[in-house]
Structure 1
Amino acid sequence: MRDLVEIGMGRTARKAYDLNDVEIVPSRRTRSSKVVSTAWQIDAYRFELPLVTHPSDAIVSPSSAVAIGELGGLGVLNAEGLWARHADAEGALAGLLRTAEKADDPTMLIRELQDLHAAPVRGELIAEAIKSVRESGVTVAARVSPQHAAELAPDLLAAGVELLVVQGTIVSAEHVSQEGEEPLNLKEFIADLDVPVIAGGVSDYRTAMHLMRTGAAGVIVGQGYTPGVTSTDRVLGIGVPMATALVDAAAARRDYLDETGGRYVHVLADGGITCSGDIAKAIACGADAVMLGSPLAAAAEAPGRGLYWTSAAAHPSLPRSRVASATDQEVDLKTLLLGPASDADGTINLFGALRRALAKTGYSDLKEFQKVEVTARV
């Protein structure tokens, strides 16, 4: 039963919960963390960690995508980002970092990103980036926006992309455009591809169900909310607390599984995850994997060198992300993901902590852990 509150005469709103509002309840059984699996498989692709990167140039370059893949996660290249627009993307980033060191006005960084993204997407550049990742042997994934998916997908697939991510602030199965524009029919688009597609973000049951019916292999829940970085809620007034959004999407997944007689669609949590406890709670609320952004900015391999932003920062007319420092420390990626940690704030050994959370509550794998009892602060 939905928890509705009256916000005025004749108007009610649903009460919703963020990850900070829920806690995991231990069971009567515990187990050794050595017999716990954090593996996750979508379509034919298996990963030892339920980790998908947010497609931000601040954390994913071809080399860091390889490093993430070798450690068991999935690095997602932004096929409309700097590596797709500039032959010397690292040089472009270096210029942004120099601006960050001396800029007093944070809007200078947004303007510089907008200028960098004014350069056209060049198919040969993103193909080169994809090739370098593919040659390493890790799974290759790339992100496109819904507006450019049909245009860019053929070249991406020809270059060797194995998983395609269609991601925007809001992605729906139905889009009404102005006269003369051909909207993306996501169902037809996915049906014509030979690779699995992950699409999002969504924030509610109905939209999640609609995306599942398009044939998507995975649905992204959330808009990549990052405290101090993203501003979708301030700019557009849009946002749903992540715990509730995940539980609703998981309900859509269950109903769609029944509707289709067994087709399982994965749920990916994107936003509101800043520490290892948030990862565990996202899985407990129904996520199959998490899309991490700012927590990965602390990695020495991250091209942003501690800065973080989302692709919405470069929007030409309505940016919805700042370029901000996401960390005051730098550690190697392996330590960040798998430990050991030397502090107690949950920002290092992210997936070692997830493994320990499963063990402490008596669960052996992620699917079982989705059944763990949770409480909510009222």
Structure 2
Amino acid sequence: MPARDNVEIGLNRFARRGYDLDEVSIVPSRRTRDHDDVSTAWQIDAFRFEIPLVTSPSDAVVSPTTAIGVGQAGGLGVLNAEGLWARYDDPTDVYRQLREAAGPHGGPPVSLLQRLYAEPVKPDLVTARVKELSAAGVTTAVRVSPQHTVQLAPTVLAAGVDLLVIQGTIVSAEHVTRAGEALNLKEFIADLDVPVIVGGAADYQTTLHLMRTGAAGVIVGVGADSWSTSDTVMGIRVPLASAIADAAAARRDYLDETGGRYVHVIANGRIETSGAIARALACGADAVQLGEPLRVAAEAPGGGVWWDSVAAHPRLPRGSTSAAAEPRGTLEEVLLGPADEADGRTNLFGALRRTMAKTGYRDLKEFQRVDLVIGGTGAEAPGPGHLAG
């Protein structure tokens, strides 16, 4: 396991020092390069993407239409097989209720989310949504939670999904339970013909264990964003820069262990600006998982309101909801520009291309070797009530 500075927090009690993305800065130290000569493409298994984007499976930003739009823009849209589009034949009225319940200073109440998500998941709707994505000609990806993988995965796979995403706040290779049979990821993945992305992982050892299950990609981070309450509710907070670096070390060690099998690291946390995307990739991630930044796209089904999937948990919600944000442009403009403000919220991946050009790297694998320095400017430091991820 990689060495890490330990800090004594009390008599004979130590904690590992960790760093978040806003504490890490990229240092230009090589030649510069024309931005047209830079590639932001990456490939997982047989699927190539022009931008290193995997969407969060939040219903606030991902509908079948936006998943297709992300695919056409060069990223991977992930639809939630346990979300509104799998519970309602037409969730238009559900979205209307959520938008109308959002005020100028806050989002719809979590209790409303819980009520709307109490509608059962309908397997035939899951099948219909996957086929809709496939018919559009984009790479199809669907998320299931670890708790419902055994029940829902056969439906998703039979519908012809290209990539299966098994994602929870924290996922382990082996879940221990006294109530029924637990999901064994290694056995489950071994029986599949499609690549699987699993997560989230929070440290080197968990990432390595998940890689050993046969996963094609591991999501690193617990998804904490500006509206996450995982820290308040459960005391869990993951400094994402350190978590990504640990996962990159696990990726390297697993590559050596297997004689060449490369597993992709996908960073998921408080990545809300183009600068944070660049820092996450510089720390060693192959791609980033974005949710909240996409709510300002005109096509976002939530109409600018944001909530994570765990905010609707029936027993222990771990996230609040946002007020509605004004659209900042089309989905393509948010992802690829042009930007009309200098706040890092639009042209997210065009900015990444510029960063890579300014530091002289031609592709993402090279860019992972860029020099880093500790000492954030505070420009993206958490505001009042914010819980860093």
Question: TM-score normalised to the size of structure 1?
Answer: 0.97
1:263 pairs with one of 258, 261, 264: 261
Paired AA for residue 47 in structure 1 = F
- Is the Cα–Cα contact under 8 Å of residues 278 and 352 in structure 2 kept in the other structure? yes
Kindly report which structure 2 residues correspond to 1:66-145, keeping only aligned pairs within 5 A, or say none: 66-101=68-103, 109-145=109-145
Paired AA for residue 272 in structure 2 = T
Cα distance in 1 for partners of 2:233, 2:39 equals 40
Matched residue, 1:147 = 147
Cα distance in 2 for partners of 1:76, 1:372 equals 29
Paired AA for residue 175 in structure 1 = H
Q: 1:336 to 1:105 in 2, by over 3 A?
A: closer
Cα distance in 1 for partners of 2:307, 2:223 equals 10
- Is the Cα–Cα contact under 8 Å of residues 295 and 326 in structure 1 kept in the other structure? no
Question: TM-score normalised to the size of structure 2?
Answer: 0.94
1:372 matches 2:370: yes
2:198 alignment partner, SS class: strand
Paired AA for residue 60 in structure 2 = A
- Is the Cα–Cα contact under 8 Å of residues 60 and 305 in structure 2 kept in the other structure? yes
Single out whichever of 29-38 and 317-326 deviates more from structure 2: 317-326
Cα distance in 2 for partners of 1:139, 1:91 equals 28
Q: 1:364 to 1:326 in 2, by over 3 A?
A: farther
Paired AA for residue 197 in structure 2 = I
Cα distance in 2 for partners of 1:240, 1:267 equals 15
- Is the Cα–Cα contact under 8 Å of residues 130 and 160 in structure 1 kept in the other structure? yes
- Is the Cα–Cα contact under 8 Å of residues 294 and 326 in structure 1 kept in the other structure? no
Single out whichever of 356-365 and 109-118 deviates more from structure 2: 109-118
Superposition deviation, residue 178 in structure 1 = 2.0
Paired AA for residue 215 in structure 2 = A
Matched residue, 2:208 = 209
Cα distance in 2 for partners of 1:220, 1:105 equals 29
- Is the Cα–Cα contact under 8 Å of residues 84 and 126 in structure 1 kept in the other structure? yes
- Is the Cα–Cα contact under 8 Å of residues 328 and 346 in structure 2 kept in the other structure? no
Superposition deviation, residue 377 in structure 1 = 1.8
1:158 matches 2:158: yes
Cα distance in 1 for partners of 2:358, 2:5 equals 31
Cα distance in 2 for partners of 1:23, 1:147 equals 38
Cα distance in 1 for partners of 2:6, 2:83 equals 41
1:344 matches 2:336: no
- Is the Cα–Cα contact under 8 Å of residues 163 and 197 in structure 1 kept in the other structure? yes
1:225 alignment partner, SS class: coil
Matched residue, 2:382 = none
Provide, for residues 74-130 of structure 1, a one-character-per-residue CA deviation record: whole Å limited to 9, x for no partner: 10000000001111212211111112249x886x62111111111111011111111
Matched residue, 1:199 = 198
Q: Give the gaps of 5 or more residues in structure 1.
A: none
Cα distance in 2 for partners of 1:250, 1:4 equals 20
Paired AA for residue 149 in structure 1 = T
- Is the Cα–Cα contact under 8 Å of residues 202 and 221 in structure 2 kept in the other structure? yes
Provide, for residues 270-315 of structure 1, a one-character-per-residue CA deviation record: whole Å limited to 9, x for no partner: 0110100000000000000000011001001110111111110111
Provide, for residues 147-191 of structure 1, a one-character-per-residue CA deviation record: whole Å limited to 9, x for no partner: 111111111111121100000010001211124x11000001111
Superposition deviation, residue 326 in structure 1 = 6.6
- Is the Cα–Cα contact under 8 Å of residues 328 and 334 in structure 2 kept in the other structure? no
Q: Give the gaps of 5 or more residues in structure 2.
A: 377-389
Kindly report which structure 2 residues correspond to 1:1-378, keeping only aligned pairs within 5 A, or say none: 1-101=3-103, 109-179=109-179, 181-227=180-226, 229-325=227-323, 327-377=325-375
Superposition deviation, residue 330 in structure 1 = 2.9
Cα distance in 1 for partners of 2:84, 2:327 equals 25
Cα distance in 2 for partners of 1:71, 1:28 equals 30
Paired AA for residue 220 in structure 1 = I
Single out whichever of 329-338 and 257-266 deviates more from structure 2: 329-338
Cα distance in 1 for partners of 2:327, 2:54 equals 22
Paired AA for residue 262 in structure 2 = Y
Cα distance in 2 for partners of 1:296, 1:87 equals 24
1:201 alignment partner, SS class: strand
Single out whichever of 321-330 and 260-269 deviates more from structure 2: 321-330
Cα distance in 1 for partners of 2:234, 2:92 equals 32
Cα distance in 1 for partners of 2:10, 2:109 equals 41
- Is the Cα–Cα contact under 8 Å of residues 71 and 334 in structure 1 kept in the other structure? yes
Cα distance in 2 for partners of 1:369, 1:232 equals 31
- Is the Cα–Cα contact under 8 Å of residues 241 and 280 in structure 2 kept in the other structure? yes
Cα distance in 2 for partners of 1:76, 1:60 equals 7
Matched residue, 2:386 = none
1:296 alignment partner, SS class: helix
2:328 alignment partner, SS class: coil
Question: Once superposed, what is the RMSD of the aligned Cα atoms?
Answer: 1.3
Paired AA for residue 155 in structure 2 = D
1:174 alignment partner, SS class: coil
> How many residues align structurally?
374
Cα distance in 1 for partners of 2:268, 2:149 equals 20
Paired AA for residue 289 in structure 2 = M
Superposition deviation, residue 268 in structure 1 = 0.2
